[in-house]
Structure 1
Amino acid sequence: MANTNLFDYSPITERAPIAWPDGKKVAFYVGLNIEHFLIDRPSTSIWPGTADLVPDALNYGWRDYGVRVGVWRTIESLDRHGIKASALLNSDVARHYPQIVEAGRQRDWAWLAHGRTNSILHTGMDPDEEKAFLTDVVDTIEAATGRRPRGWMGPGLTETFETPRLLAELGLDYVLDWTNDDQPYQLNVPGLISVPYSVELNDLGLFGKGTSGPEFVRIVRDQYEQLLADSQDSGRVMALALHPFVTGQPFRAKYVDEALAFLAAQPDVWLTTSDEIATHYTTHSTEVGSELRGRG
């Protein structure tokens, strides 16, 4: 049976403490999924009964609502509460929806590589093919946004065993795919860390299971309150994953706004991006390591 060599086991109770800027306890970011889907491939669906049809007007139209309408509603809410998105960007978005990229440029969003399209999972490539693929994705996003992405999240949080190494070679310094912690941690790839993301505090999973708007707000509050309780000796990360075709729907938008308003009002919250979390952790964990070695 194979075990992962990408990271070591590290119980959260046995780590050097993390101190976020200005004494904040919980680093909060919005992972805004901005995705392009192919009309002739089964993808994320609200009703699987038509998912294998070509074209699948029902599900394609549901997804397409996000980039045509939903994302603009979400942007208004983020702006209202002073939150910069951490944009999980399919590189095909740059070609198909340049207005969204421009809106993010104007707001100084963080840009993460999120594959080419969410209709195709990141798997089944040999190393040379994958290197060429990742190079194209990263270079396309850099050309469109004016900033080379530092982070990666695969479509459907997918990787090959070679992905982390290849990403590090391309200059990226963190990944979101391994949702196994409330803190960043070092991976066994030089220069690469894991930053927390969530498949639980995620609109796609929550509303797909029938969560109501008020329940969503309660879940966000509960997540924050528990992380705050946990963070008295060491900072925590809270990621909220949003998909504009889900929470951009009119009847859900006010609850997203309510949840963001709650978090923005908390004195212990650092409203930030995944880029800034990675930078702070990497810089200060290096300083802590040097201090501990100096005491030895």
Structure 2
Amino acid sequence: MDYEPYDYSPIVDREPIRWPSGARVAFYVGLNVEHYPVDRSGLSIAPHTVGLSPDPLNHGWRDYGPRVGIWRMMDCLDHLGLRASVMLNSDVCARYPRIIEAGRARDWTWVAHGKDNSRYQADMEPDVELAHVREIVDTIERATGRRPRGWLGPALTETFHTPYVLAELGLDYVLDWANDDQPYWLNVPGMMSVPYPIEVNDITLFVGKSLSGPEFVRIVRDQLDQLHAESAHSGRVMSLALHPFVANQPFRQKYVAQALEYVARHPGVWLTTTDEIATHYARHHAPGPTCPRVRRAAGQGPERAGAGRVPAGPAAHARDRAGVLPSGTHPLPRGRRPARQRCAHAGSPSGACGGPEPAVATPVPCRWRT
């Protein structure tokens, strides 16, 4: 397939990134708050019962997160002054409203993360996917009072149309393409990729590799120290992906707290969220030539009916890269443009910019650390 969601860009050739207050590393906690239906399989710790319905062994392990683990995590984040960027299944909103209430009180950032974590974002036609994602985003907006700007697919899954569907619905960044230490623009107008960790992730380290708590702390420290050393001339992004049913088991809690405290106390770290990273990057780094506003300003794109619409997949990709978005060829239903088309171009009233720069946070000791 002649389609690339992004261009190759060596990190050594890019314009430098400067984070607020002179910070060198932007750090966010990627807190996964998920729902696993009792009659469907999901991430499992005991393979011999996978496929059974019900599967009390594996389902119970996963269900520890919203019942117990999340509250242990909140306590630690509160003591460290850390706000979570929550990867939120929309089914959580109805099933665990107490978590939504607690997150709203803490001003968490909400990133749409599919309907539940047993259904992958795959094998959908564009119209079906548009309706599916619209329901997810609208559900999260109703429950949290804030429309999500970002997306992480369940198990980081997408179709080739997903970024276009997200843009159609007004979202402006994705975390699925975990291939960089910096944000960058996708080849979809107004859509950005924000880094998300695959390896510095409790599922990978604790479940996949069966590492101990002290090994986990050492890996988080090494990750931050290396990124900090590399960021003298251009900022980096670091995230720690955490799942309360894994990270917040009692015997792991003090090690997770130690790792988070090391990051929070490290000099030159901006304790932030995915939304704030996307906003700052969009403010200071203009989109590439795929942004319709930039193309029109350069006289590269036609001003006619349909020229401002977001294409919806690989077939439209070549036309868009050439600056041509012909009317009547949009694979998604007509008339379904987002209320605000975020090209995120610096100075654009419809962009993602706005509000004061957040300061680097000053942490306080965490009582979970021993």
- Give the TM interval when normalised to the shorter protein: over 0.9
For the residue of structure 1 that corresponds to 2:241, the secondary structure is strand
Aligned partner of 1:140 in structure 2 is 139
What CA distance in whole angstroms lies between the structure 2 residues aligned with 1:4 and 1:97?
39
Q: Show the counterpart of 2:277.
A: 277
Please state how far the C-alpha of 1:48 moved relative to its aligned partner: 1.1
Equivalent residue, structure 2, for 1:175:
174
Aligned to 1:244: 244
Q: Which residue in the other structure is 2:253 paired with?
A: 253
Which AA in structure 2 matches 1:147? R
Structure 1-normalised TM-score?
A: 0.96
8 A Cα contact 2:185 2:288, kept in partner: no
Partner Cα distance (2:46, 2:284) in 1: 46
Distance 2:98 2:7 in 1: 42
Deviation at 1:190, TM superposition (A): 0.7
Match of 2:7 in 1: 8
CA separation of 1:218 and 1:103: change in aligned 2, threshold 3 A: same
Q: Give yes or no for contact 1:34–1:89 (8 Å, CA) kept in 2.
A: yes
Structure 2 unmatched runs, 5+: 299-370
Deviations 1:255-275 (A, max 9, x none): 111111111111210000011
Whose Rg is larger? 2
The normalised TM-score by structure 2 is 0.77
Output the aligned Cα RMSD: 1.5
Counterpart in the other structure of 2:226: 226
Shift of 1:40: 1.1
How many corresponding residue pairs?
290
Structure with more relative contact order (C-alpha pairs < 8 Å, separation 6 or more) = 1
Aligned AA (1:278): A
User: What is aligned with 2:83?
Assistant: 84
Q: Identify the residue that residue 153 of structure 1 maps to in structure 2.
A: 152
Cα deviation 1:130-181 (Å, max 9, x = unaligned): 0000000000000000000000000000000000001011110100000000
- Aligned-pair CA distance for 1:286: 2.5
Alignment of 1:16-95 (within 5 A): 16-95=15-94
Question: What SS does the corresponding residue of 1:112 show, helix, strand or coil?
Answer: strand
Distance, in Å, in 1 between the alignment partners of 2:13 and 2:194 is 18
Between the aligned residues of both structures, percent identity stands at: 63
Helix, strand or coil at the partner of 2:29: strand
Alignment deviations for residues 226-276 of structure 1 (CA, whole Å, 9 cap, x no partner): 001110100000010000000110000111111111111112100000110
- Distance in 2 (CA, whole Å) between partners of 1:190 and 1:241 is 28
Q: What's the CA shift for 1:287?
A: 9.8
Distance in 1 between the 2:36 and 2:101 partners?
A: 20
How many Å apart are 1:288 and its aligned residue? Answer: 12
Superimposed CA distance per residue, residues 50-94 of structure 1 (whole angstroms, 9 cap, x where no aligned partner): 011110000000000000000100111111101000000000000
Alignment-mate amino acid for residue 96 of structure 1: R
Is this contact kept in 2: 1:16–1:288, CA < 8 A?
Answer: no
Where do 5+ consecutive residues of structure 1 fail to align? Answer: none
Q: Which has the higher helix share?
A: 1
